[in-house]
Amino acid sequence: MVLDIANNHFGDVKHAKKIVDKFSKIIKKYKLNATFKFQFRDLDTFIHKDSKESGEKYVKRFMSTKLSLNQFSEINSYIKKKKIKTACTPFDENSIANIEKLKFDYLKIASVSALDFNIHERAIKNKIPKIISTGGLKIEDIDKIVSFYIKKKQKFALMHCISIYPSENKDLHISFIKNLKKRYKDIAIGWSTHESPNELNPAVLAYACGAKIFEKHIGIDSNKYGLNNYSITPEKFEKWYQNFNDCKEILGKSNKIILKKELSTLQKLERGVYAKSNIDKGEKLTKHNTYFAFPLKKNQLTASEFKRDIKILSNTKEDKIISRKNVKFDRNERKTQLIYSYIHKLKAMLNYNNINISENVKLELSHHKGIENFQKTGCFLFNIINEEYAKKILVMLPNQQHPSHHHKIKKESFIITAGSLKLNYNGKNFNLLPGEIFHINKKSWHKFKAGSKGCIFEEISTTSFKTDSYYKNTKIKSLTRNKRKTFINNWFTISNIISNN
């Protein structure tokens, strides 16, 4: 939470401290990760000498709310004693020097200065984390700013911002935050708000679109000083934050969370499997000799668990429950279901990373220690091209590992597309991240393990030969290729599974 005091201190240190005191109580009450923000202008040089006595709106405001550097220092120290961070927006180069001098925690670049690379060139001379507003900027302009700060190895965030004070809801276009997050994947995106203090929805929607930083203009009611119509009072800010926090809780996590209460409720409403007629030991369960009915009994096979090729282990009389303990699942059917579940995870990884592979490309599942252990040891392998040159796409599930091996004929290179890969190459360890390339020579031992989010990478090589993989592990070495692989001709519809394992 960036709480921007801006000129709402009205050039009055005592009034500024009152603002800090009232908002500090809310920060402490809700344990907010917040910073108070100021604005610096070196008014002696910022405003042209011939304009200082003019009646121009902003000149008049800046001059009437002027604080000396010593006064800013006093307020800054006052906030730091409360163990709250401080931020500041410079509107000229001299002000950046003062930000450095007073040791502010964050440096904010305003929308009006976002294309002023004179400001940027001076700002990057320090390592203070930057927050950059993008009000009124074309996407190509934002690209330039991002490229500049990445090149200069700066830590920075972007703020979607509408530079209208106050902003109407129809002008906010909060969905643009999703665009920014996709375009600049590793950069934090925020929402700099100027809507009416009575509006509760924009911040919540911004959070739902992925915003992680929120800036609000703040102030307090006073008989002496009038507050503008886009700055929020402590009372309204607390209400705003309570609504924000409630909605954040409702949104919850992006991963599917299954609660015990939820499972308990569903189990009570499930149907169980019953014998439609007397079933003899060893007989297969079918829809002809079984039926589904409510309620579900303890340890009873459920309708959702009913699969083909399930055998009954002992004689069961008509209308009696089919117990889980009294059935045996077919081993081959179990393996087929496992393969289905693995490929569903494969599809999810490709979809999450926006990677499209034709359904006509042949897929191999390498399972060096059996299909049951595939999630721990193995990989998915798409054979894209195999001519004088070859290309494969390898997909590995989270923490999945591939055992040590080498090739006598093939020379290959790995190009990481998504996730991370821990590679051991001839006894040395390497951690590969997206975009990185690693070359593997012939007869070089290598093994690898996917990171916690899995890994997708390309293998570019010379011609790939079926008999050119040599494993260190003696058990794996003894397996034929067909015993350690499952082949799927149409992976997208999961049809024509060819497995000898």
pLDDT of residue 501: 44
Going from the C-alpha of 483 to that of each of 174, 267, 356, 479, the distances in angstroms are 53, 39, 29, 6
DSSP states of 381-444: EEEEEESSEEEEEEEE-TT-EEEEEE-SS--EEEEEEEEEEEEEETTEEEEE-TT-EEEE-TT-
Which H or E element spans position 64? helix 57-64
Cα–Cα distance, 379 to 368 (Å, whole number): 9
pLDDT of residue 495: 64
Q: Which residues pair with 106 in a beta bridge?
A: 87
> Helices in 65-123 by DSSP H: which ranges?
69-81, 93-102, 117-123
pLDDT of residue 254: 85
CA dihedral 352, 353, 358, 361 (to 10 degrees): -100
Q: Is 398 exposed, middle or buried (0-12, 13-18, 19+ CB in 10 A)?
A: middle
Cα–Cα distance, 332 to 345 (Å, whole number): 20
φ and ψ of 225, to 5 deg = -120, 130
Cα–Cα distance, 106 to 309 (Å, whole number): 65
Q: Is 287 exposed, middle or buried (0-12, 13-18, 19+ CB in 10 A)?
A: exposed
Going from the C-alpha of 89 to that of each of 79, 114, 185, 197, 500, the distances in angstroms are 17, 11, 25, 22, 67
pLDDT of residue 256: 84
Q: Topology of domain 2-251, per CATH?
A: TIM Barrel (3.20.20)
Domain boundaries defined on the chain: 2-251, 267-329, 334-499
Structure tokens at 481: 């290729």
Per-residue pLDDT of the chain (501 residues; tens, 9 = 90+): 999 999 999 999 999 999 999 999 999 999 999 999 999 999 999 999 999 888 899 999 999 999 999 999 999 999 999 999 999 999 999 999 999 999 999 999 999 999 999 999 999 999 999 999 999 999 999 999 999 999 999 999 999 999 999 999 999 999 999 999 999 988 999 999 899 999 999 999 999 999 999 999 999 999 999 899 999 999 999 999 999 999 999 999 888 888 899 888 888 899 999 999 999 999 999 999 999 999 999 999 999 999 888 999 999 999 999 999 999 988 888 888 899 999 999 999 999 999 999 999 999 999 999 999 999 999 999 999 999 999 999 999 999 999 999 999 999 999 999 999 999 999 999 999 999 999 999 999 999 999 999 999 999 999 999 999 999 999 999 999 989 999 998 898 876 665 544
Q: Class of 267-329 per CATH? A: alpha beta
Cα–Cα distance, 476 to 404 (Å, whole number): 10
pLDDT of residue 498: 58
Whether 308 and 340 have beta carbons less than 8 Å apart is answered as no
Q: Topology of domain 334-499, per CATH?
A: Jelly Rolls (2.60.120)
Q: Which of 31, 3, 41, 1 is nearest to 19 (CA)?
A: 3
Q: Which single residue is written with the structure tokens 């917040």?
A: 34
Cα–Cα distance, 328 to 336 (Å, whole number): 15
Going from the C-alpha of 119 to that of each of 4, 95, 116, 125, 144, the distances in angstroms are 20, 10, 6, 11, 14
* Gyration radius from the chain CA atoms: 32
Going from the C-alpha of 16 to that of each of 57, 66, 214, the distances in angstroms are 22, 12, 21
